[in-house]
Amino acid sequence: MIGLITRREYLSRVKKKSFIIMTLLGPFLIAAFYGAIIWMAIGGANEETLHLIAVNDESGLFQEDLKNTGRFQFVKTNNEVPVEDVFGQLNIPKTATLDQPKGIVFVSENSLTLTERSALVNQLEAVIEKQKLLRAGLTESTLDSVKADIQITEKISSEEGIKESNSAVNAGVGFVAAFLIYIFIFMYGVQVMKGVVEEKTNRIVEVMISSVKPFQLMMGKILGIALVGLTQLLAWLILSGVMISVISAFVGLDQAPQTMEQAGMNAPVAMQQGGEAGQVLNAFLQLPFLKLIGAFTFYFIFGYLLYSALFAVIGSAVDAETDTQQFMFPVTLPLIFGFVAAQSAVINNPHGELAYWLSMIPLTSPIVMVVRMPFDVPWSELLLSMILMIFGFIATTWLAARIYRIGILMYGKKASWKELWKWLWYKG
Amino acid sequence: MLSIQHVSKHYAGKTALNKVSLEVREGSVFGLLGPNGAGKTSLIRIITLITAPDEGEILFQGQPITRDLITRIGYLPEERGLYRKMEVIEQALYFAKLKGLSTQEAKTRVKDWFQRLDMWSWRGKKVEELSKGMQQKLQFVLTVIHNPKLIILDEPFTGFDPVNAEVIKQEILHLKEQGSTVILSTHRMESVEELCDDIALINKSEVVLSGEVEEVRHRYKKNEFEVIYEGEALEAIEGGTVLHTTTLKNGQHRSMLSSQTESPKQMLHGLIDQREVHAFKELIPSIKDIFIEIVGGSI
């Protein structure tokens, strides 16, 4: 029976025009999305505009040393107020000394952006610091020789031996995987909810329930939509693969690894490290792929199953889609929390306490565990989390089915949380 | 066939059914009557295993009803719908298969029914393109497609035009002839006498009346008679009272008489001597009259 229902849910969706269009457009949208991220990361979005800045230095502290940069071009002036052509004017009072460089004022018509402001402050600070060092007896050549450029090669000792690692690569891979799961749960969980609401408002549900058990109807729908999602994901992967190889062929073969790594990881890091691309790629290739893909698939599927059962409950509790809001928020809260935590706390400290617990709780583990995975999570933790996930899924589905079976037959009243609780205990 | 024994159901402080017991005979059409909200749908949902009773049980052919027997039941709910985007024939096949038919069997049955009810020509249309009456017809077919032993129809005539209502009426009788048992739930009494063998009247969660249609009607008769005659209007009569008299277009009179005894013999004797009697018959209340009398009194 579930098979029949799954089949109908699957076919009715896959045949839709919107599905076909999204499946074909998806890779382009993803490519555009990543393009936009990379563009922002390399500074395309906040492109530097050159500002002409007048400097009225009465203190004489900045006589020689304000160098023109990509952002700022400095001209000396004696005017009290800025003339028309300049963006703004720096007034440095007589009272400012090397030890107490205070009272500096910047006058302008338009305010500086945050980055511009800190760049300007940095430049001023650097000048003062340099002069102080010179005053302390250092020569300019010494100053130049102190500059250091250090790069760290990370290696991880794990159950599989010592290997190269790069926390930026790890974070990037984990983050992209978590993002996919997050999007998938949302997109297709909401589809489950819509499907339930549709059956309920169409009044088809009672006809169905007299032929199949509510649980079968719910699971059939959830599984059918899961297959739709997997179909779409698979199609996207294949299409993206084709696109990447086509692009690589155009750009030239040697560029291929870089393209891949940009798509697969944190772009700014890749860009800054420039020449270290080889090392980044190496770290990427050294990730335990089988374990990663296995865990990703597991959390991808079970995360969706768990949440879509909850979405099905929401659908069963309301009469119209517009009423779903009050229930949506609490249900999606752990998901959003997990995602936000993954971006900050978990990436910063992937083996910390918060990361550990969030990767054990079934409501957040599909996101958090996947982010932690590239940082080498021990098998024992992974297995424990998976077992908890399976139990979480069974418990949630059981609870969901109990509320669902009552909810789908309730019309005309807006259910409250209290009512859902009551439905849970109804007999039969 | 179906034995409902002391079934009770409560929803959050409200009683939907209170110790309801009924017997449905094999091969009969059973009318489940009652005003809206009386508990008919609650009872049907228990029979179809959609909900469980708080007390009591349901026996289907002598055995407690279980999920395995559900394919022997066909249920047309009052609140019914279809998948709007699906093609008519796809939908029919889907439901036939959900009821346990093989693909091949489902195809044959669907074709038979579609041709019988003039639906074959619109098999490729989407449900949303159908008129309300066409959708109702399709729903009826979906209910009976698997040849169920027990057919439960909740307000089946709602939304039908008179022509299609008649078609469905004939189909119900046809199914009965073929050995199916039909439970017909309705608050509209027009078709009850034509279709039903037995009835039960549910009001405020309880069975207030049940039995064979003719027997019930006779149980509620009040020894009232109607007479049509020529001559002066009657004012009084021996052995009874004249309730009221009307004059017909052709100058004849029609009087309603109430007899003191069950037999109209005494009244009739007097009448024949005094007037030229054209017609005389006993007034037996219709199910509708009984319904209104019982339910109306309690509203």
Q: Measure CA A280 to chain center.
A: 20
Band of residue A269 on the pLDDT scale cut at 50, 70, 90: very low
pLDDT beyond 50 at A185: yes
Residues in A closer than 8 angstroms to B85, CB to CB, are 12
Question: Cβ distance B257 to B269 under 8 Å?
Answer: no
The residue type at A265: M
Instruction: State the pLDDT at residue A261.
Output: 45
pLDDT beyond 70 at A28: yes
A43's tokens: 């500074």
B299 located within any domain: no
- Average model confidence (pLDDT) across chain A: 80
Instruction: State the pLDDT at residue A124.
Output: 87
CATH of region A51-143, choose from 2.30.29.30, 3.90.550.10, 1.10.1380.10, 3.40.190.10: 3.40.190.10
β-strand A88-92 against A105-108: which pairing, if any? antiparallel
Q: Do A204 and B83 touch (CB under 8 A)?
A: yes
- Same domain for B90 and B208, yes or no, is yes
Closest C-alpha among A257, A259, A269 to residue A347: A269
Instruction: State the pLDDT at residue B89.
Output: 92
- Same domain for B129 and B235, yes or no, is no
Q: Do A203 and B81 touch (CB under 8 A)?
A: yes
Residues in B closer than 8 angstroms to A211, CB to CB, are 70-71, 95, 98-99
pLDDT beyond 90 at A390: yes
A345's tokens: 């706390």
CATH number at residue B142: 3.40.50.300
Instruction: State the pLDDT at residue A270.
Output: 42
The residue type at B290: I
Residue B81 has its nearest CB partner, among A207, A409, A428, at: A207
Instruction: State the pLDDT at residue A267.
Output: 45
- Same domain for B254 and B129, yes or no, is no
CATH number at residue B272: 3.30.70
Q: Do A205 and B81 touch (CB under 8 A)?
A: yes
Task: Please list the residue range(s) of chain A that carry CATH number 3.40.190.10.
Answer: 51-143
Which of residues B218, B237, B254 is at a domain's end?
Answer: B218
> Which one of A206, A410, A421 makes the best mutation probe of the B interface by having the most chain B beta carbons within 10 Å?
A206
Instruction: State the pLDDT at residue A241.
Output: 78
Instruction: State the pLDDT at residue A332.
Output: 87
Residue B54 has its nearest CB partner, among A204, A205, A427, at: A427
Residue B77 has its nearest CB partner, among A5, A202, A206, at: A206
Chain A residue nearest residue B142, CA to CA: A207
Which of residues B178, B197, B218 is at a domain's end?
Answer: B218
Closest C-alpha among B43, B38, B31 to residue B6: B43
Q: Is B7 on the interface with A (CB under 8 A)?
A: no
- Same domain for B43 and B127, yes or no, is yes
pLDDT beyond 60 at A391: yes
A251 versus B235: the higher-pLDDT residue is B235
The Cα B193–Cα B291 span in angstroms is 12
Q: Do B12 and A422 touch (CB under 8 A)?
A: yes
Kindly give, in sequence order, each residue whose CB lies less than 8 Å from that of residue B212, ignoring residues fewer than 6 positions away: B197, B198
B173 located within any domain: yes
Q: Do B54 and A204 touch (CB under 8 A)?
A: no
Instruction: State the pLDDT at residue B100.
Output: 87
B14's tokens: 């409200």
- Same domain for B68 and B119, yes or no, is yes
- Same domain for B32 and B79, yes or no, is yes
Q: Is B40 on the interface with A (CB under 8 A)?
A: no
- Same domain for B269 and B155, yes or no, is no
B291 located within any domain: no
Instruction: State the pLDDT at residue B51.
Output: 82
Question: Cβ distance A280 to A270 under 8 Å?
Answer: yes
Interface list for A 288-327 with B (CB within 8 A) = none
Interface list for A 183-242 with B (CB within 8 A) = 199, 202-213
What's the Cα-to-Cα distance from A373 to each of A174, A178, A185, rounded to whole Å? 7, 10, 19
Which of residues B199, B218, B237 is at a domain's end?
Answer: B218
- Same domain for B123 and B181, yes or no, is yes
Q: Is B282 on the interface with A (CB under 8 A)?
A: no
Q: Which residues pair with B282 in a beta bridge?
A: B225
Residue B99 has its nearest CB partner, among A203, A211, A213, at: A211
B292 located within any domain: no
Tell me, letter by letter, the H, E, C secondary structure of chain B.
CEEEEEEEEEECCEEEEEEEEEEECCCCEEEEECCCCCCHHHHHHHHCCCCCCCEEEEEECCEECCHHHHHHEEEECCCCCCCCCCEHHHHHHHHHHHCCCCHHHHHHHHHHHHHHCCCHHHCCCEHHHCCHHHHHHHHHHHHHCCCCCEEEEECCCCCCCHHHHHHHHHHHHHHHHCCCEEEEEECCCCCHHHHCCEEEEEECCEEEEEEEHHHHHHHCCCCEEEEEEECCCCCCECCEEEEEEEECCCCCEEEEEEECCCCCHHHHHHHHHHCEEEEEEEECCCHHHHHHHHHHHHC
- Give the number of domains in chain B: 2
ipTM field: 0.76
Residues of the domain holding B241: 222-283
The Cα A94–Cα A90 span in angstroms is 13
- Same domain for B182 and B272, yes or no, is no
- Same domain for B32 and B133, yes or no, is yes
User: Per-10-residue mean pLDDT for chain B, 299 residues long?
Assistant: 90 84 92 87 88 89 84 86 88 91 93 90 90 87 91 86 86 91 85 88 90 89 89 84 89 89 85 88 88 73
Instruction: State the pLDDT at residue A263.
Output: 46
Q: Is A416 on the interface with B (CB under 8 A)?
A: no
Which backbone phi and psi does A213 adopt, to 5 degrees? -75, 150
The Cα A370–Cα A184 span in angstroms is 14
Measure in Å the smallest separation between the Cα of A211 and chain B Cα atoms. Answer: 6
Instruction: State the pLDDT at residue A280.
Output: 65
Residues in A closer than 8 angstroms to B48, CB to CB, are 210
- Same domain for B203 and B242, yes or no, is no
Kindly give, in sequence order, each residue whose CB lies less than 8 Å from that of residue A409, ignoring residues fewer than 6 positions away: A205, A206, A209, B45, B50, B51
- Same domain for B230 and B95, yes or no, is no
SS3 A47: coil
A259 versus A20: the higher-pLDDT residue is A20
Q: Is A14 on the interface with B (CB under 8 A)?
A: no
Question: Cβ distance B47 to B2 under 8 Å?
Answer: yes
